[in-house]
Structure 1
Amino acid sequence: MNEKSRLIKTEDRNDHFKAPKDPVVKRDSFFVMFDKVIEATPRNEGKPSQEIYLDGERLKSVAKLVGGVRDEEILTLLDHCEGFHQLVHSIGVVIKTENQHAGKMNFVLQNYGKEKKYETGTLLRMACPTDGNEMILELGDFQWSQDDDVPGKFAFEFDHPGELATASVKFYLQDAYKVPEISLEPPVAFDSKGYQAMIRKSLLSKGNNQRLKAAIEKAERGEDVTIAYIGGSITQGAGAKPIHTHCYAYQSYLKFREMFGKDDGKNVHFIKAGVGGTPSELGMIRYERDILRNGKVEPDIVIVEFAVNDAGDETKGICYESLSLKILSSENKPAVILLFSVFENDWNLQDRLSPVGKHYDLPMVSVKDAVVEQFRLTKEEGNIITKRQFFYDIYHPTNDGHTIMADCLSLLFSETKKSIRDSEDIKIDKSPVIGNCFKDVQLLDRKDNPIDARIDMGSFWETDDDLQMVELDANTFVTPQFPNNWMHTTTSENDRFKMTINSRSLILVYKDSGSSEFGIADIYVNGQHIITADPHEVNWTHCNAVILYQEDVCREHQVEIKMASDNEDKSFTILGFGYTL
């Protein structure tokens, strides 16, 4: 493949895309990335990289968010590779590292294929200098696969994990297409009165403050206090660079220890357990493992952040309320703070989930309430931060966005400190507002089988080590999710996985995958076919939870899992189960 590219010198950071001095006609263009901080994340295969996904509505959304494109014809052309080539003449890439003599990094453009999504589309790799010079990738210089379906992703390949850079990517358009130039915003005025007014709007409810004040006073006395966070990819730190120190969780933990800790806050400890793409349906199953660390940790404060993940909760809030009660019921009486993050399209599930907070009088913080209204304002009308500044992509905040989330939590901490202590604790022994049938859910996997369920693993005898990886706590390294699993491989015979279990309910956790080696499996309970689990519905490596049954009484059930017809030579991974008695 001919990887022809053209190097254009630039003057400085604010002039990345200055017109070249040679007589090349200036094309209309728009950014899809602008000075975005990127970070090298370890991968199971290949170099450490930062991946920017473009499929679904993502490319159209970043064209609107970052590039300011409003022309529906242009946006529609970004839906598929044929329209992409009709619209885009070339791609400009600018990468800068602090060490401008660091050499080169690879920029990768991958199209997803029609036949095999991750395997049959075109993949281009272009070496780029890291000194702020622009590389131009002219699309007409390449052979493109006939199987190209949609633009899939950009990737930036580093030499070492944890390295940082800033990157800009710009689409130069074919002659027939025009877009208006857009002006860039001034930096966010974090110290302004307008900023503080915006943050104050996030305080949805101070709630009953007895538990939170107890944690604050405990920290002020110099006693050990642990603040913990459980949620989705935003809690994991997606969009923050570096992810372990600039995520909202770590930043708000720092603020808490600075406000209330003793001896430089050494008595305040940090637990972070965000897992991308997963709802509270999975969060409640992994709470003991990821927050309590199987009985080794007793958190004093737990922030719950699933407001943009729980669209995948098939119980429509029962799992969320069950998780909240699971935490609140702990013997050490931790404070629970409900945090409502927001997507670029101004959406979250605050209306569905906030009644849980109201019912138990919990502190609630709404990032949506803080930022969405002012997104619609001009600077003259009172805009503090634009969507382009707040969002790294259509789902996750930038460093500035994570800072705002941390400041919203910090406001709750300070307001609680100033408030008179409530005389009575919250009451949790009352009827649920949505449902609480999973509040005692426990994890069962290949390592931990506390109720001695009888298991015949059949052909699911191998262990999958290609798992969803997350950065827990303040770690720079990643930890595999559900490593104690059962895996059927392409070389296994098609023997069923069988489990006899006494339980009231059972949730299967299985692995989603984008690999064509994975296939679908049929799940039976007491001889009845319940679901066909398809690891390609989401199509990337992560954890998927689905309820197999939920009953009023605990009784014996026979569970069987086998590869579906014509999928016997495929792989499937059972990550674990959640059960209640």
Structure 2
Amino acid sequence: MVQIDYSKGFINEGNDERMLACMAKGLKGEPLTVAFLGGSITQGSLSSTPELCYAYLTYEWWKEQFPKSEITYVNAGIGGTTSHLGTGRVDEEVLSHKPDFVIVEFSVNDADTDVHFEETYEGLVRRILKNEKHPALLLVHNVRYDDGGNAEAVHCPVEKHYEVPGVSMKAAVYPFIADGRIVRRDITPDDLHPNDTGHKIVSGLITSYLAKEKKKAEELMKEGYAFPVKETVLPAPLTANGYETAHRYRNDELKPVICEGFVKDETPQSCVADCFKKGFSAARINDRIVFEVEASSIAVQYRKTVRRPAPVATLILDGDKEHTIELNANFEEDWGDCLYLQTVLEHGESGRHTVEITISETHEDDREVFYLVSLITA
């Protein structure tokens, strides 16, 4: 393997005040919680064991560098998900753990030309930065290894606007792939998800940045620096910023006003990645469920399954039967069931809205039920 100069991937140094304060806590032996929010790469897809994914390898770096500190690991990666869902679940699955350090990784999940994802990414970044624990935030940009694509075009303006440190696999590693110095199949079997070697490289990029910050913190500590963290004052948003207050409603909070044939799933959820839980299922024509929510933006999350055929549902918003939305549970890809997020209203009128979902198509040989996971409102 060639020697990689990871510093070329430090695409935004940003304001490292929080990062240095986090390093200082570790140097003093204080407990630290490190959290990772992202898609399938963060979850650990295609690493041979969970302990060989980039997130766990990065957690091990924290343990090795700060042996006197108790380090807690939080992995909130869910495959096939975007920063839109991230805005709805960050409180429950990340910030509730009171993290000292957070990585956000959605740059191969968010569409690279869709300003919708600039807005959802901004909402997520603002949500984390405004948290009362003042966690250090590092934005990680993975890359598609076949064409060098990712969502940096919509993510980096947010990163720079808020002076958040960011590291890029596109800048640090993709040039080696483009000119043949690294063979793609040596680090990824599918041009998206790293293998064990690829996960080690992603972690290497992150920990190289962290090592630089640790060294800086050590030098400042010798000088008696106090590592103050100022009260959070964020600049005005870049976008319409409709997702900073997003909330995910599952069946423990989401109470239907009409429920005909849909069944509440009360099976316990084992972990964050066990994501098809706390929803509602249905399998018969005309099974119907209706919700009323206060929002100006609404998205419906449901399962698209590889176990075809599966039912199809129809969504009607605010009684508008002229503009129905199809919720097709049949997934045309083969990598596994997808936690699909369908936007049904964006920047609409703020107020009470009615969401009606009815099973409109079934098949004699259906292999799965229709599974409604959640509603995300903002």
TM over 0.5: yes
C-alpha distance in 2 between matches for 1:556 and 1:209: 42
C-alpha distance in 1 between matches for 2:54 and 2:127: 24
8 A Cα contact 2:242 2:347, kept in partner:
no
> Deviations for 1:298-317, whole angstroms, at most 9, x for unmatched residues?
01111011000012978132
> Deviations for 1:72-122, whole angstroms, at most 9, x for unmatched residues?
xxxxxxxxxxxxxxxxxxxxxxxxxxxxxxxxxxxxxxxxxxxxxxxxxxx
2:156 to 328, 342, 354: 354
2:102 to 302, 323, 342: 302
Superposition deviation, residue 425 in structure 1: 4.6
Q: Which has the higher helix share?
A: 2
Superposition deviation, residue 418 in structure 1: 3.4
Give the equivalent residue in structure 2 for 1:559. Answer: 355
Tell me the percent identity: 26
Give the equivalent residue in structure 2 for 1:157. Answer: none
**One-letter code aligned to 2:94:** I
C-alpha distance in 2 between matches for 1:547 and 1:430: 27
Indicate yes or no: 2:88 matched with 1:288. no
C-alpha distance in 2 between matches for 1:388 and 1:274: 24
Superposition deviation, residue 435 in structure 1: 3.9
1:519 to 294, 306, 311: 311
Superposition deviation, residue 494 in structure 1: 1.6
C-alpha distance in 2 between matches for 1:561 and 1:430: 39
Indicate yes or no: 2:20 matched with 1:217. no
C-alpha distance in 1 between matches for 2:344 and 2:153: 27
Give the equivalent residue in structure 2 for 1:45. Answer: none
8 A Cα contact 2:84 2:117, kept in partner:
no
Superposition deviation, residue 376 in structure 1: 3.5
8 A Cα contact 1:458 1:497, kept in partner:
yes
Indicate yes or no: 2:325 matched with 1:531. yes
8 A Cα contact 1:504 1:553, kept in partner:
yes
8 A Cα contact 2:260 2:287, kept in partner:
yes
Indicate yes or no: 2:170 matched with 1:368. yes
Alignment gaps of 5+ in structure 2:
none
C-alpha distance in 2 between matches for 1:343 and 1:359: 25
8 A Cα contact 1:325 1:436, kept in partner:
no
C-alpha distance in 1 between matches for 2:205 and 2:347: 40
Indicate yes or no: 2:55 matched with 1:249. yes
Indicate yes or no: 2:137 matched with 1:326. no
What TM-score, normalized to structure 1? 0.58
Give the equivalent residue in structure 2 for 1:575. Answer: 373
Superposition deviation, residue 430 in structure 1: 2.6
Give the equivalent residue in structure 1 for 2:190. Answer: 393
C-alpha distance in 1 between matches for 2:126 and 2:239: 12
Where relative contact order (Cα < 8 A, 6+ residues apart) is larger, the structure is 2
C-alpha distance in 2 between matches for 1:572 and 1:552: 27
Larger radius of gyration: 1
> Deviations for 1:471-497, whole angstroms, at most 9, x for unmatched residues?
75xxxxxx52041111112xx462321
C-alpha distance in 2 between matches for 1:458 and 1:568: 19
**One-letter code aligned to 1:556:** R
**One-letter code aligned to 2:29:** G
Give the equivalent residue in structure 2 for 1:229. Answer: 36
Superposition deviation, residue 271 in structure 1: 0.6
Give the equivalent residue in structure 2 for 1:505. Answer: 297
**One-letter code aligned to 2:79:** G
**One-letter code aligned to 2:111:** A
8 A Cα contact 2:162 2:234, kept in partner:
no
Give the equivalent residue in structure 1 for 2:136. Answer: 335
Distance 1:433 1:338, change over 3 A: same
2:78 to 257, 275, 281: 275
C-alpha distance in 1 between matches for 2:22 and 2:106: 23
Indicate yes or no: 2:342 matched with 1:543. no
**One-letter code aligned to 1:576:** S
Distance 1:314 1:526, change over 3 A: farther
8 A Cα contact 1:322 1:435, kept in partner:
no
Q: Secondary structure at the match of 2:63?
A: helix
> Deviations for 1:270-308, whole angstroms, at most 9, x for unmatched residues?
11111111111122222223223xx3x101111011000
Superposition deviation, residue 214 in structure 1: 1.2
> Deviations for 1:298-352, whole angstroms, at most 9, x for unmatched residues?
0111101100001297813211111111111111111111100111212111122
Distance 1:560 1:398, change over 3 A: same
Distance 1:568 1:561, change over 3 A: farther
8 A Cα contact 1:275 1:470, kept in partner:
no
Q: Secondary structure at the match of 2:263?
A: coil
Distance 1:568 1:504, change over 3 A: farther
Q: Secondary structure at the match of 2:176?
A: helix
**One-letter code aligned to 1:351:** A
8 A Cα contact 1:357 1:364, kept in partner:
yes
> Deviations for 1:174-228, whole angstroms, at most 9, x for unmatched residues?
xxxxxxxxxxxxxx26xxxx33x2x221111221011111111112222221111
Q: Secondary structure at the match of 1:315?
A: helix
Q: Secondary structure at the match of 1:201?
A: helix
